[in-house]
Amino acid sequence: MQEFWFYIQLGLQHVLDINAYDHILFLTALAIPFTFKSWKNVLWLATIFTITHCLALVFSVFEIIVVNATYIEFLIPVTILATALYNLFVLKDDNDGKNIWFHLLSTGIFGLVHGFGFSNYFKMMVMGEDEKIVPLLGFAGGIELSQVLIVMLALVLAYVLQSILNVKQHIFIAVGSIIIILITLPLLYTTFPF
């Protein structure tokens, strides 16, 4: 049980590390179009992201699928940019969730990319270990707990700005998405593999 808790903490620290802000940016971009009123959509997105994220970890750790880390490091900011652009041009006018199926599909694909991004770090941690299931479950659990925390913080921020300070939802989504895009552009430049 102590080993399981160690890997949960490792997963939490890995996502919440300010130097690894790309994951925080993606989750924020994923959550900002929504409010507590649309909790079902947020729950669906978080569930799809979690499942595909964990699936990528399993594929990588057991070497079912091996991907080039250089391309994954570039694809992660691409997913952030794509999500923010989607928010800016599609979801800002679709608060009732008409386009949720496309959002779910893209979130699942992006979950795979982010999972493969974490898998390289995780594989280094368990290199030489015979037992990989317990560390894998603990690490994935820590990552998912941190993701729930980030999504909840984004929803609380949306609530405060929109309900208490009366910021219009489409303005909140647009400004938040633009900020995320501006932060992501340098990541694209520094990780460009060609």
Q: How far apart are CA 183 and CA 92, in angstroms?
A: 20
In this prediction, residues 166-181 reach a mean pLDDT of: 95
Cα 178 from Cα 85, distance rounded (Å): 8
Q: To the nearest whole percent, how much of the chain has pLDDT over 70?
A: 95
Task: Kindly list the distances between the CA atom of residue 55 and the CA atoms of 78, 81, 114, 170, 177, in Å, as whole numbers in the listed order.
Answer: 20, 23, 11, 34, 28
Residue spans of the domains in the chain: they are 2-191
pLDDT at 131: 84
Report whether 74 contacts 14 (CB < 8 A). Answer: no
pLDDT at 156 over 60: yes
When pLDDT is averaged across residues 17-39 and rounded to a whole number, the result is: 87
pTM of the model: 0.87
pLDDT value, residue 50: 83
- For 29-68, what is each residue's pLDDT tens digit? 999 988 888 878 888 888 888 889 889 988 988 889 988 8
For residue 106, is pLDDT > 70? yes
Q: Whole-angstrom Cα distance, residue 194 to residue 158? A: 38
DSSP states of 100-130:
HHHHHHHHHHHHHHHHHHHHHHHHHHTTT-S
Q: Which H or E run contains 185?
A: helix 169-191
Number of Cβ within 10 Å of residue 151's Cβ equals 21
- CATH fold of 2-191, please? Growth Hormone; Chain: A; (1.20.1250)
What's the confidence (pLDDT) of residue 176? 95
Per-residue pLDDT at 87 exceeds 80: yes
